[in-house]
Amino acid sequence: MTEIYQADRIEEAAQALRDGQLVAFPTETVFGLGAIASNDQAVQAVYQVKGRPSDNPLIVHLAHKEDLFDYVKDLTPDQRSWVKKLQDAFWPGPLTLILPVKEDVFAPTVTGGLDTVGLRMPDHPLTLQLIEAVGFPLVGPSANLSGKPSPTKLDHVRHDFDGKIAGILASQPTRIGVESTVLDLSDPRGLFILRPGHIARGEIEAVLDGPEVSYPDQLRVEADQQPKAPGMKYRHYSPHETVYAVTADRMAEVIQAHADQAIFCAGREACLAGLPAVAQTYSLGPDLKTATQRLFDALRGADDCSDIDLILVEWIDEGEASAGYQNRLLKASVQVFD
C-alpha cells in the first residue's frame, strides 16, 4: 500500500527516496513522481512505473537556485547572464532551463542519452523541504501513467499508482495546473520554448531584455528524433474517449450535431450557460487562470465516467497567455472547432 506522508513526515519520505524508492510530491504545477536523480535504478523505476519511453528525458528539481551551477558545464557569459536573470525573476517557479550537463552527475537515464538536462526549482515549500532533506536533486516527471492526464490532486496520483510507489507527499490541489514552461538555453541558433506553460514568451523576453525567444519550427519531433524536453514526441493527456476542443460560440452547434451521443462538456461558466442538455458538465471556472488549473481534473473526471461517448472542452484563445492551456488541450484532442 502506498503511504500518504503528511507535512510532519517529510523525513520519512526523504528516507524512502534515499532507500531508492519512489515518492510523489506536489509542486505549483502538477504532482511529480520523485526519485533521486543520481540513482540509476530508481530513475529506471520511474520510467517503468509510468510506462514512459526511455528516450523521453526527465526534469531535475533543485532545492536552491545556486545548485544549478553544480550540474551544468561550459556556460558562455551570455548563458550565465540569462540563467541569473531568469532565476531572479522566476525561481522558485514554473520555468525549466535546458543547459549542457556535466558528465556523471546524474544517472544516465535522466537525460535519455542527451548532453543537456532540464533543471528547475519548484515553488512549493513541502517539496523544497523534501529535496533539502534528501540531500540531492530529484527527478520529477508528472506522477501519472504515461499518456494520461497529469495529476493536479493527491487522489489523481493515488488512482494511478496506489500500491506501486512508496508514498505520496500530501498537499492541496496544485495552484497552476499545467507543467512548467521549458526554455532551451543550449541551442547555438537561439533561445527556444520547447514546451509552453504558465510563464509566457513575452515575460521571458522582458526579463532578458534583448534576446528574442521563439518556438522551434515544430514543437513535436519525429519518431526517429530525440526529444530535448518532455512532451515533444509522445501523445499526452489523453482520456479514453474522443476529445474535441470547441470555442464557446460553437459549443451549442457541436453538441446538437452529436445529439445521439452521451457528452461530457467542460467549459468556463459563461460557455456552459444556456447550452443544450448533455450527460455531464464540468465548470472550468470564470477565466483562463481557473480553466488552466482545472483542465487536467476535467479530463480525468471525464475518464472516470463509464457512460460517456464524447468529451467537449472549451477552446480558449487569449494570445500568448493561453499557450500552455492550448498546448495541453491540443495534445488531448483529435479536432479543434474554432
What is the percent of the chain with per-residue pLDDT over 90, rounded to a whole number? 87
pLDDT tens per residue, range 53-100:
888 899 999 999 999 999 999 999 999 999 999 999 999 999 999 999
Average pLDDT over the chain reads 94
User: What percentage of residues in the chain have a pLDDT greater than 70?
Assistant: 94
- Strands 59-61, 23-25: pairing is unpaired
Residue 158, C-alpha cell as written in the block: 493515488
pLDDT at residue 217 in the model: 72
Task: Give yes or no for residue 220 having a pLDDT over 80.
Answer: no
127 labeled binding residue: no
Give strand pairing partners of 96. Answer: 182
Is 235 part of any known ligand binding site?
A: no
- Residue 27 in marked binding region: no
To the question of whether residue 61 is assigned a binding role by annotation, the answer is yes
Which residue segments constitute the domains of the chain, with CATH numbers given?
Answer: 3-214 (3.90.870.10), 242-336 (3.40.50.11030)
pLDDT tens, residue by residue, 312-331: 999 999 999 999 999 999 99
- Burial annotation 50-73 (CB, 10 A radius, 16+ → b, else e): bebeebbbbbbbbbeeeebeebbe
β-pair type (23-25, 32-36): antiparallel
Residue 150 marked ligand-binding? yes
pTM for the full predicted model:
0.93
Q: Is 120 annotated as a binding residue?
A: yes
pLDDT tens for 116-127 read 999 999 999 999
14's enclosing H/E stretch is: helix 10-18
Please state, in angstroms and rounded to a whole number, the distance separating the CA atoms of residues 146 and 330.
17
Output the nine-digit C-alpha cell for 220. 513535436
**Mean of the pLDDT values across residues 259-279?**
96
**Is residue 191 very low, low, confident or very high in pLDDT (cuts 50, 70, 90)?**
very high
Q: Would the annotation count 56 as a binding residue?
A: yes
pLDDT (tens digit, 9 = 90+) per residue, 228-267? 666 554 556 678 899 999 999 999 999 999 999 999 999 9
| 3-state SS assignment for residue 312 | strand
**Would you tell me how many other CB atoms lie within 10 Å of the CB of residue 20?**
15
**pLDDT at residue 281 tops 90:** yes
Say if residue 222's pLDDT is above 70. Answer: no
Task: Please check if 201 is assigned to a binding site.
Answer: no
247 a known binding residue? no
Mean pLDDT score, 97-122: 96
pLDDT band at 216 (very low <50, low <70, confident <90, very high): confident
Is 195 annotated to bind ligand?
yes
Of 119, 136, 140, 120, nearest in space to 26 by CA: 140
pLDDT reported for residue 228: 67
On whether 111 is known to bind a ligand per the annotation, the reply is no
